Structure 1
């Protein structure tokens, strides 16, 4: 059999078990049935056949089948599902095996009938290098708001260039008339007209760089990245887009050529008031000067719109020549970071930024971007060990700021780490500096809202979240951040509205469905929450944390079989690890509270006990109490950084469960009084969250106030839900627990929960639940 090249599908027939495959007509024959599959599905199957028995990485499949095309990430997942269905492997998945975080493996011998006499395993050896070393591939792109973020800056870049060129041919008097005191400008994504879809990321990235450069001056009113990029695929005229963005000038353009002869980029600045192109220009040069283009365009646009201030601004446009390969890696990383909607974004962005730094070690922006994603090591799933992530983030921050003291991404990363470590003054200083360097800066505003949440300041958190939305109203994450603040503040309807905005902008952003589910969970709409997470996992099937959370949601309705299925998937995504073994046995070890010693041993070693989606510290606390190992538990949990036991660390939303565990396990009266006092203050600041998160109920239970706790829980379940309710049912054998179960309110609570569960199960079974849009 001839080995396949990129984009080439060979002919021939072969057999996989009882299935005969004819590649010539893309058909699969089984018994008396014939099924036709898409040509690309057949091509994917052939690549797997070439390497039967070996793991084929996802990047190799994209590179071999789609080649230079830029497609959505889920295209491969859908193709694999089509093949599994055709080969009757949809349920068992034993034939086409998923290798977590790597790719797929065809577990079968192949028999060819095309006369070649060679087996796929024979040809697979020759292709072995390609299996693990594909050419770099850009993330598939859909026109979501995140993608518009890249496209709009590119368009802005093009429009800007056009504006400048027009100026060169205008009389001085007309030039003076075209300039306003503080011009308002929108930047649209560049259009990739190079004929190579591989350069979509580059066209968008250059425009984004132009927009970023222009934000360094306060002399222009710039529309936000997401707001501008939302018009990247519109059929509206430039004048109409400018009108909707409420700007006079709109920068648009295109990438016409990028090859060994060099690059050709055209831009145009549209004056919407005059309905004409005020300025246009064509930029050309050798490939090794590509990194200069965004600065040239930024400087030229600024000079055209504000000629009197050009001399004073020259320092901001100082050239910084970056090796072209490093620049391309950097823009690839930015593309993944800004457009990644699934759990794989971290790894792809990290690799691209590291590649850029390997080529250009003094690339400040690449170090800053790398610092930011390391600081977000637990943003969706847990991407790496906490200590390793913080160490790498700290090093990248120092490298970036040593090269450029105003590197904004590094300042943002410094603020994130400082907030996590409760160095609130340091976080504030970093964000204040970031706001001085870049305007508008929605990212800094929502990080300030995260800081205010960590400081238990609800009013400030909401103020900053709203300011972030004002700065970038169409950013999915800005709207999700606003939803989170509303969620903590007890404003569930407003939170769902903010989620709706995020999803209307980008319906494929999986993180929006996680928070939609959490909000619905809180208000007791568990069937809706489950449907939201099903949607999330259809978009991002590789997320271990989200799979675990869906399993936990099913347990809220006591649907143990469904929960076990999702815990099995969670285990498969963690590979051979303690986390995998625990999740595989979660029903027995966690939910049913059997074998607490085994459960405790595993929980102590797990990486996934706390994520951005759920927290299993209450289960850990219960096991320590059940085994009467309070002293050991207090000692171990005190090691968690930052520990609530340290004098400069306060109890907040993020460490509340850890604080409750230390309160329950500690025998030091001073520590218990301090923690109890701080928890009471936290509950006062966020009363609705304290009620529905179970923090207030657990606090009362630990204090021995079982009747008050039951009264509170009855109130909570009449208005919504409290997660991990089964911890109260299967609680430890302490005096408090025995007293709890003897009280009549306990029976009332159990009946109330059972009634709500039954109602929600009926909703789920009939399929009448409507997810809030």
Structure 2
């Protein structure tokens, strides 16, 4: 008998609620937390109807979302459970709700829950049905007693088996076999053997297209191009499939070499296993008319070698393939240029996407890539949002008119909505795209980003970690995961994530900057200095905003206040109220005793021009008001801040530096003798500290906040011991013990 950890079984699937997983005898699937919550609600109802309203109230906690959000979650669940038969597991009751349509068996250690029908059946036309459910039923009582008797016998039998197994261990061959994961493939950019410009794009473009095509087969897991291409890009001469397989964790590596002799283009393609053994290899002669045949032959050979039959393709997989080879080649050239990541390359790519449309006016993928190109130019501040909208919107509409279920087109709709501040609509579009194609990483990372900005960290982490499986080396994904871990007090996990990222992403600034920042926070100034200096050795853009901001931060933490002030004031002069250096500048001004004049300057700006009332300016004003013991100003600015961005009480990213706006407000309430208002705020910070890991609790900034928290609770603070501890870790903000009036506050 196979042993496994699960909460309940439906059909062929064993469901683990805590792990958000579905497992069968052949595979394990990890699903979104919200999808698991819905599935748990349906299971708890034991086949009875669960209303749409009840689901939305519980899953989204009363937050307004569109009906489309729930539709997407249900569609996603159905796709995971059975892509071919959407009604096999979940039935839709139009305008009413959903119910399970399959056998449900709870794990032996769990007692079958009693459905709370009064909470879940809310449609008026079900009043009679509910009355019947609530009536005593002797037959049901009898069945329940029988089930309880059987359950007791089963539990005794399990205990007996457990004791027997401990005395007489089973042979290894008797142990349950691990559930098989999907076969994973890394596709490398094909090697250019002869340096001919016209075939160079084909090396990456064809490999990228193979990744897309193989990804439509949900029996195979394909790594994102940026991870496999990035590894080869860091060391072009090292293409050892065993080494690359180890670094990515791939079961198979697909590699190729392309050359041009006279007028003939030749490609050799090889599929290796994780030991570097050649499983299949073939040579192809390529011309403009055979490029599609070549692509299909390679995909067919991979399927045959891996013994993996593709699933019946959904409408999303049946995308339009241009019959015009010139259009296809321009599309590949444009995508190859996008892979370079520079502004000039993006601009050149747009030209190729336009040419693809010229050769084939019905090429939906080319319209999508062209629209995305304009949005990318906006993100690089090369195009105004208004101009990007004017150019991108008709292209997105055209792509969708040609192919309404093209996942990339729907995801681009999401990017368009996101850039235009339509967060809920963007999330809906990204979910729709992921329902059609769960491997679409652009939708996955963008929905994760939106959840992160809304501080919905559980959902954000799920999507980032799912994206990381496809793209394990991406510095942006790893940096975002590390940042969320920091925000939630999991500093040890954040530190490990960043160290790994720095080790494999040699041309990224995100991870080393964040690692150096974190090393400062946990009291490792020497390590932080080495990490930051190593970055500056190869990254030579002195005027880069983030480099300047971090130079100011490190100078400040090295107690060079004059140099820190130069960096922060230069940033303020250039960027005014637009970035998060401004609260740091306010804090630095407070430390230097220049609080009043800076407070007056920022206040004047805010009164004269609404554009200055950004999140960062309001935070800075609140810090300065607190420093000046102006509690009316503190409450006013925090209230304005709540209107701009919802306040997150007990936010750990502030606490770990040694600052907490939550405790500042609590101090003001205590000063005004309003303990009923102060206590909930104190409790929020206490909860945040309790959830932090041990590395976080030892961070000097956290120790300072704990001392402030204790002081506000009326405890005596040993200032001398704290100062000695801060000096040993070179924490620069022990001045707060003297200058923060909350430490002298008497309740």
Q: TM-score range by the shorter chain?
A: 0.5 to 0.7
**Partner of residue 644, structure 1:** 646
Distance 1:476 1:325 in 2: 30
Which aligned pairs between 1:22-61 and structure 2 lie closer than 5 A?
none
1:543–1:365 Cα change, 3 Å: same
Distance 1:191 1:434 in 2: 32
Cα distance per residue 1:274-295 (max 9 Å; x no partner): 7364433232228xxxxx95x6
RMSD after superposition: 6.2
Q: Note if 1:598 corresponds to 2:601.
A: yes
**Partner of residue 321, structure 2:** 319
- Which one scores higher on RCO, CA 8 angstroms, separation ≥ 6? 1
Distance 2:587 2:601 in 1: 13
**Partner of residue 512, structure 1:** 511
**Partner of residue 340, structure 2:** 336
> 1:275 pairs with 274, 278, 283, which one?
278
The alpha-carbon deviation at position 448 of structure 1 amounts to 6.1
Distance 1:507 1:191 in 2: 21
**Partner of residue 474, structure 2:** 475
Cα distance per residue 1:621-667 (max 9 Å; x no partner): 1345549695699479737875328xxx9997799999859969999
> 1:302 pairs with 295, 299, 317, which one?
299
Distance 1:494 1:545 in 2: 24
The alpha-carbon deviation at position 523 of structure 1 amounts to 0.8
Which aligned pairs between 1:170-319 and structure 2 lie closer than 5 A?
185-196=185-196, 203-225=203-225, 228-229=228-229, 230-231=231-232, 233-235=236-238, 250-257=253-260, 264=265, 266-270=267-271, 272=273, 275=278, 277-285=280-288, 293=291, 297-306=294-303, 316=318, 318-319=320-321
Distance 1:730 1:461 in 2: 39
Distance 1:535 1:610 in 2: 34
Distance 2:384 2:709 in 1: 29
Distance 1:627 1:498 in 2: 40
**Partner of residue 559, structure 1:** 560
**Stretch moving more, 265-274 or 519-528:** 265-274
Count of aligned positions: 527
1:486–1:631 Cα change, 3 Å: closer
1:524–1:499 Cα change, 3 Å: same
* TM-score, scaled relative to structure 1: 0.51
The alpha-carbon deviation at position 509 of structure 1 amounts to 0.9
Q: Report the 3-state secondary structure (helix = DSSP H, G, I; strand = E; otherwise coil) of the residue aligned with 1:279.
A: strand
Q: Report the 3-state secondary structure (helix = DSSP H, G, I; strand = E; otherwise coil) of the residue aligned with 2:564.
A: helix
Which aligned pairs between 1:121-132 and structure 2 lie closer than 5 A?
none
Cα distance per residue 1:209-241 (max 9 Å; x no partner): 321232122143434535534356354655776
> 1:365 pairs with 368, 378, 402, which one?
368
Which aligned pairs between 1:714-733 and structure 2 lie closer than 5 A?
725=733, 728=736
Q: Report the 3-state secondary structure (helix = DSSP H, G, I; strand = E; otherwise coil) of the residue aligned with 1:316.
A: coil
Which aligned pairs between 1:526-675 and structure 2 lie closer than 5 A?
526-538=525-537, 539=539, 540-564=541-565, 566-567=567-568, 570=571, 574=574, 592=592, 593-594=594-595, 595-596=597-598, 597-601=600-604, 618-624=619-625, 626=628, 634=636, 638=640, 643-644=645-646
Distance 1:551 1:738 in 2: 26
1:586–1:235 Cα change, 3 Å: same
The alpha-carbon deviation at position 511 of structure 1 amounts to 0.8
Distance 2:337 2:731 in 1: 37
Cα distance per residue 1:262-284 (max 9 Å; x no partner): x9351413365973644332322
The alpha-carbon deviation at position 494 of structure 1 amounts to 3.0
The alpha-carbon deviation at position 458 of structure 1 amounts to 5.8
The answer (yes or no) to whether the contact 1:579–1:607 under 8 Å persists in 2 is no
Distance 1:673 1:367 in 2: 57
* TM-score, scaled relative to structure 2: 0.53
Distance 2:246 2:581 in 1: 57
Cα distance per residue 1:124-181 (max 9 Å; x no partner): xxxxxxxxxxxxxxxxxxxxxxxxxxxxxxxxxxxxxxxxxxxxxxxxxxxxxxxxx9
**Partner of residue 126, structure 1:** none
> Unmatched 5+ residue regions in structure 1?
1-180, 287-291, 338-344, 732-736, 744-773
The answer (yes or no) to whether the contact 2:622–2:637 under 8 Å persists in 1 is no
The answer (yes or no) to whether the contact 1:579–1:606 under 8 Å persists in 2 is no
The answer (yes or no) to whether the contact 1:651–1:675 under 8 Å persists in 2 is no
1:302–1:186 Cα change, 3 Å: same
Q: Report the 3-state secondary structure (helix = DSSP H, G, I; strand = E; otherwise coil) of the residue aligned with 1:473.
A: coil
Distance 1:565 1:225 in 2: 42
**Partner of residue 130, structure 1:** none
